[in-house]
Each structure stands twice: as C-alpha cells, then as structure tokens.
Structure 1
C-alpha cells in the first residue's frame, strides 16, 4: 500500500494532479480496446481509464480482473474528461488490489438490484456502501451534533449515566435482567432517575445522548429494544421551560440538516420537499386533543377522560394538525409517578408529549421535587419506595423544582427523513428477532 499516506479522496482529484486514490471497485465497464474501472470512496466516485493496447498487460489485468467491491488503490495522472461521471478520470500507472472481494455478493451495493430489509441488515457493512444508506447516517450524525450544540446554547452540561441498574426506572415491566456478580440487575430503561439526581446538584441543567433498553413485546416498524435517547433535565425549570428547550432542539436538528446536508438530502430525493419548522409548535391540552380526535370520527368508540391515546387516534390528530405539536395537561393517573401535578388541580399532571403527525416523539414534564409527595406517587403506582432509596433519599436534601424530557433519536430521524421503518435509522438494530450483527 505504498503511497497511501498521500491518498487523495475522489472528490478532491483535479485535472493536472498526480494522485493516489483508494476505495472499492464499484463497477467495471469493458468496451473492447478501452475499459473503465469506477472506484468509489467515502467522498464519491472516479473513473479509471485503461487503454489496453497502450498499457502494460499486467496492469490492465490487475485492474479489470478485480471483483466488484474489492479494495484497490490506483496511482496516476488526473485528466479532464467531460464524459466521465465526475468530469475527471485517472490514467493509471499502478493498480494494487488491497483486499479481494468474493465474486458472489449477498447484496448489490450499487443498488441496481434491490434487497429486502432483513438481507440488508444481515449484511449491513455492504448495505452502508450504498449512497442513500450512507446519507441517512451522515444526517444522523449531523442531528446529534446539532442537538448537542442546542443543549449547550441552553447552558446544559453533557453527562453519562449508568446503563446497568438495580431497579427499573418505571418498575419491573419491560426490563432486561442480567446477572451482575451473582446478583440480578437490569439494563436501564431510561436515565430518568439519574438525570433528575444530577439536575439536583449544582450542575442544574444536564443532557445525555445514550442507549436505553426496553423489553418491548412490540415488533413494529417504529419500535426497538435498544434505542438512543436524547434526554434533558433542568433545575428551576417548569414544564413550559422544558417544552421551550425541546422545541429548540428539534428545530435545531432540522435547521442543521437543511444547512449542512444538502448533498445527502439530494441523494435521498428530499431536496425539494424538506421543510424546516418555523412557527412555534402548538400546545394542545389533553382534553382538547381527545375532543379533536373524537370529532374526526375515525375511532369506533369515542375517547373519554383518562383514556390513553390509541395509535389510530394519534394518526387522526396528526393528520389534522399537519405539523409538530405538544399535548399538555395529561390526567395524573396515566403519567409516571415522578411527574408533578398542577398545584391548583391534582387531577392534572404537568406531563407533556411532543407529537409528529406520524407518531409520538417526546415524553416529558415537570418532576415532583417534594419528598412526601414523591413517596405517595410511588405507593399509588404500586412501587416500593425502599427499592429506590438511592433516588428518594436525595429529595430530603434540597431538591429544586425541575423538569425535563426525552426523545428517541431514531424516531426523530425516522420522521425527519420520512423513513418507512425505524431500523433504517439504526446501524445495527436490536429487536425481537435480531441480535446479530
């Protein structure tokens, strides 16, 4: 691999250069006396021209006998060629096959032959060589970068909380048990309790982007058993403040993709239709939401106070709203124990959800910061407060009012890019059927 320390990416190769490019054999076109090898790297593609009668036979044989997806390096003169895919081509002086690929590939990285999602996920490395798949994960990276920047603009500190815990965030359901030095432990469902404890320190505002684990029985295009959660918690914040931060982070993600991912949007066919939310997200109360859903006539039975919103109800409301919106003031009885009730009405919680027309994205609210009321919340939901002493004890030592939320990164990406299946937004998904790769 001599010369790769001076490697030139395909997008940077210009006429007049003497360059070494390296990547994968995307395609070989043999036209008789002349042939072309299309080399692909992370920046794009470049044409390598072989004039058979004017070149060394071994050089021609090495280049044209390389199987598709073999890793090669090519050194030679870069010349202008308007008919080439990128307007330039290389006349090779040397070709080295760095890693030969099998001639039988489990899927076609060029995309000319379709493969089903299961086959693609079984062979994710090959799948990621496709431009449109690579574009999704370049956009994902930009979304996470933008989220971090928005959090820092909100004066929040990035933290990392444990993923192995003694008790579940919301009790014993949907937990993955593991053996921890002979004792039972669990994979954490959420950083909820830890981010509250950390917000109760002098850090005040914190955020985390990290994995969560839920033993969901669901096996749908929008559920995962390992997901990436984007979490915020802020001391001296109420639920209105938390919604403001949430809206800012989501809008920042859209703005960053619009500004910095034009090529990727073009690759995905979204360049002309990608829209950045501009107006403030509407805030509907739970009562207003069920009234609107009932008015659509889409449900067989009318919703009544205290019902959770069924998927078909969310879809009907999403169609009517046509944009991101919050649902606020949920009934206390259907929100988790740590969500604070309104001071003037204990039947109403400060819980909120951020909805996309397709699905729920965010769950959040102001937290109960008063010790006695927190203990009552545990007991009302059939949880033993003693099992959560590491959490509840800290509320005896000056816990400020605080609020926060969490959004699933994959759901954000799925809705932002209008993907059909959430697994498209995960490198190596974990669901009911998939534990490898």
Structure 2
C-alpha cells in the first residue's frame, strides 16, 4: 500500500509557482501555476471541487469527468488522479483562471496538469475549518493544527503586531539588541529558574534580559529586545507559559511615567495597525478590537486596596493581588489600565523607591487588561550603593551580581523600562482564551513536545 501511494507522487522538477491564491482576480483566461495543500474535497460524481490552500488563502480547483472539447473539460486521466487526493496532500496545479460568481472569492481554476507532490497518508481528527477541538489533540500534531484557518488568522495578526511594534520603536530612536539567554545567576532574583549544564558548571536560562538591557543604556540610551524568556513556574493556568516572548524596552534619562507613556502609545499604535491591516483575519476570528485611546487610566496600588476593602473583599496593604482580587477589579475597571506605585518590598531589587522620600513605595507599574497582567515596569536604581543595599534587603548576595554592579562604577544614567508579554498582548487583541494558542509550540509544566 505504501509503495502504491508513493508511485502516485511526483517530483517538483522544474515547476515553480507563478501566483498565489490572492493574486488571481482580473486574470480570466490566464494560465497559472499554483502550489499548496488540499484543504477540502467535495466529490459530486462527475465534478470534483478541490480547495487548494497556500499562505495567502484558498482557491477552488474544478475537475470535471472526461468531456473532451467542452468548456472546462478535464481529461479522464487527470480526473482519476484527482480522485486519489486526500485532504492535506501537497499539490501543484497548472490551469486556466476563470471568474465564477458562486465560487469562493469569485474565482476558480480549471486544471490542465497536476502534480501530487506529497500524498497525505493520515487524516487528522479535525478539519482546517474546525474551531472547538480539545487542546491536547491539536497540540500533538501542532504543525497540522496551524493549518486551521482560525490559528492562521491569529498568527498573521501576531506577525503584524510585531511589525507595528518594531516600527514604532525604530521610529523613536530605539535600537534592537540581543542579550544572552544562558546566564550565571538570576536576572530578577527568585527561584523560577531552569538550571542547565554549561560545560563544567551550572547556569540558567534567562528569566528576562533585565540586567543586560539596563547595562546597554550606558552605550545606546534607548534599546529594545524581542526574544524568549524562561520561567520555571509550575502553573497549569490558561495564561502561563514556561517559554514566552517578551518585548523588553529600556530608556536612559527618563522615569517610569515616561516609559508608561511609551508603552501605552505603542500598544495603541500596534492595535490600530492590525485593525487596519488584518480585516480578513479578524473576520475569521469573529471579533475586532477597538484601538484604545490614551492615556490609559492609572490607579495607585493603595487606591485599589481601598476599593477592594470597600467591596467587602479581604485584603491588606502589602498583599499581592490574587486571582479573585483581579477578577473583582476587572468587573469595575475595563480595558487597559495601569496599577502604579507598588510597595517597594514587592518589586524586584533594581526598582527605585519613590522620590517623595518614602521608602515604602516604588516607582513601578503593572499594565492590566481586565484581570490579565500584560506588562510590568519601573524606574530603575542607577546608584551602586543603593542597588547593593536592595540586594541585601531581598536576601541576595551582591557578589553574585558583581559583573552587573561593576558597570555602575562608570556613570550609569537614570533609566526606566518595561517588559511586555507578546502572547498575553495577543490574547487581548484576538480574544483568545488560552495562551497556548498564542504561541507556535507551547511549553508548560506538562508539555515538552512537539
């Protein structure tokens, strides 16, 4: 059976694609060469409708049983070959374009030749048009899952989000950088680290590029990085990943108020861009976000503690907001909003305390969307003695950060920055309920393959 199916397959040879499915309008009577995979097959006996999908979309290929000399005729041999196709097979078709009002997108192709480049040998347990399929079923064959129209739309939106964010930062004088992902000590303290073997010693996968991007402001002032981060958090929620993409920004000679302004303008710009560029994709998803107006509302940590207490919810100053607290706040606070001025002891060691003389509060913020945290940032400490003191207060050893602290001997400028989770931002833009569908191959406490 295997050898029989292999004999049906053709080599690519000198065939090359002439057009994509999106380029066929206004080409009546022209011969084209299309390549892609079989999204669906409808067999009506004497007529076979094959939907060929490529990176841009789909086009209908119409095979008719042998009717030599008539319009749209397909030879018996070609028709018989088409009857052997299975969904997901990769094919190449040479044929004539014609307008057809009832065809999807108003155009179809009548084939003259076809090559079966790879015949599908298995039928997946879902269609490319399906939406609600158990997650584990899909993730086990993720590459096939990503052929589904819904996810293709999500990742085209993701691509355009990143394009808009890069453009926004580039136009404002930021330079894109790359920092090490194998590090000798924690970037932010804490225990959520993945240890690895680095030759003859222990190392870790980076939780964030935090310390490196701070150092880079010494030379470049305005930097950003879009890259993976790794957090060993044993969470099984629909909003946690062990490997995620972080959009990290750092800026010299500013404070947290300045970078909050950059962050909100960047998000508003990026959403406006994808709303304009991804109309078809949002149509597939059945939702379209509204470009948020700026500035985003700002609420002090202490203010929100009082609001929750006023609602009869048990919480004390100095407590972190648990899931039930954020749910309660999201019922009152809609869209994007900042929580600012957090207690200093709750923030990472590099976070600057308030300039008002208070050591209890920090110049820090979280950006929320409903009950989902999507970004965190602060003004950073730029004086070595203060930074060493904060390290000790948080139970960290300054000698473990010697390679970072030495930079502060060379005039570290005042600086501030933030990290923004790409997958979480994509969730807010697309309406995804599970963060695993916001990344190509998710990694979490239970999944290390494919």
Q: 1:90 aligns with which of 109, 113, 119?
A: 109
* Match of residue 222 from structure 1: 239
In the TM superposition, residue 289 of structure 1 has moved relative to its aligned partner by 1.4
2:41 maps to which residue?
28
Whole-Å Cα distance in 1 between the matches of residues 399 and 340 of structure 2? Answer: 31
Alpha carbons 1:62, 1:96 under 8 Å: kept: no
After TM superposition, give the deviation of residue 67 of structure 1 in Å. 1.2
Unmatched 5+ stretches in structure 1: none
CA contact (8 A) 2:264 2:294 kept: no
Shift of 1:430: 0.4
Residue in 2 that maps onto 1:383: 396
Specify every segment of 5 or more residues in structure 2 that has no aligned partner in the other structure, as ranges.
1-11, 68-73
Q: Secondary structure of 1:347's match?
A: coil
Judged with a 3 Å threshold, the aligned counterparts in structure 2 of structure 1 residues 406 and 41 are, in CA distance, closer, same or farther, namely: same
- Counterpart CA distance in 1 for 2:250 and 2:429 is 24
**Distance in 1 of aligned mates of 2:311 and 2:155:** 37
Compute the displacement of 1:152 (Å): 1.7
* 1:289 counterpart = 2:289: no
Question: 1:240 pairs with 257, 262, 265, which one?
Answer: 257
Which residue in the other structure is 1:168 paired with? Answer: 186
Deviations 1:204-226 (A, max 9, x none): 01111000001001111000000
Among 296, 308, 318, which residue is 2:320 paired with? 308
Alpha-carbon separation, structure 2, partners of 1:149 and 1:334: 34
Query: Are the aligned partners of 2:301 and 2:339 in contact in 1 as well (CA < 8 Å)?
Result: yes
**CA RMSD for the aligned pairs?**
1.4
CA distance in structure 1 between the partners assigned to 2:425 and 2:53 by the alignment: 30
Structure 1 residue aligned with 2:56, among 32, 39, 43? 43
For the residues of structure 1 that align with 2:43 and 2:261, how far apart are their CA atoms? 59
Superposed displacement of residue 365, structure 1: 0.5
Cα displacement (A) at 1:398: 0.5
Match of 1:148 among 166, 170, 179: 166
> Aligned partners of 1:32, 1:347: CA distance in 2, in Å?
77
How far residue 35 of structure 1 moved from its aligned partner, in angstroms, is: 2.2
- Tell me the secondary structure at the aligned position of residue 53 of structure 1: coil
The one of 262, 272, 282 equivalent to 2:279 is 262
Offset from partner CA, 1:61-95 (integer Å, 9 cap, x none): 11121111101111111112212122222221111
State the secondary structure of the residue aligned to 2:216: helix
* TM-score, normalisation: structure 1: 0.95
Task: Give the superposition deviation at 1:6.
Answer: 4.3
Instruction: Spell out, residue by residue over 1:116-145, the C-alpha distance to the aligned partner (whole angstroms, 9 max, x if none).
Output: 111111111111111111010011111111
Q: Who is 1:327 aligned against?
A: 339
- Give distance in 1, aligned partners of 2:125 and 2:131: 8
Distance change (3 Å), C-alpha of 1:341 and 1:112: closer
- For the 8 Å contact 1:109–1:129, the answer to whether it is kept is no
Q: Secondary structure at the match of 1:342?
A: coil
Equivalent residue, structure 1, for 2:71: none
Quick one: distance in 2 between partners of 1:424 and 1:335? Answer: 30
Query: Partner of 1:349 in structure 2?
Result: 362
In 2, distance between residues paired with 1:234 and 1:182?
36
Aligned partner of residue 440 in structure 2, secondary structure: coil
SS at match of 2:420: strand
Q: Is the 8 Å Cα contact of residues 129 and 150 (structure 2) preserved in structure 1?
A: no
Per the alignment, residue 119 of structure 1 pairs with 137
Q: Report the TM-score, using the length of structure 2 for normalisation.
A: 0.93
- 1:191-249 deviations in Å (ceiling 9; x for gaps): 01111011122x00111100000100111100000000110111101111111111111
220 and 44 in structure 1: CA distance in 2 versus 1, 3 angstrom threshold: same
Determine the C-alpha separation between the residues in 1 that align with 2:207 and 2:128: 38
Matched-pair contact (CA < 8 Å) for 1:154–1:245:
no
- Residue of structure 2 in register with 1:401 after alignment: 414
Instruction: Assess if the C-alpha contact under 8 Å between 1:3 and 1:20 holds in 2.
Output: no
SS at match of 1:259: helix
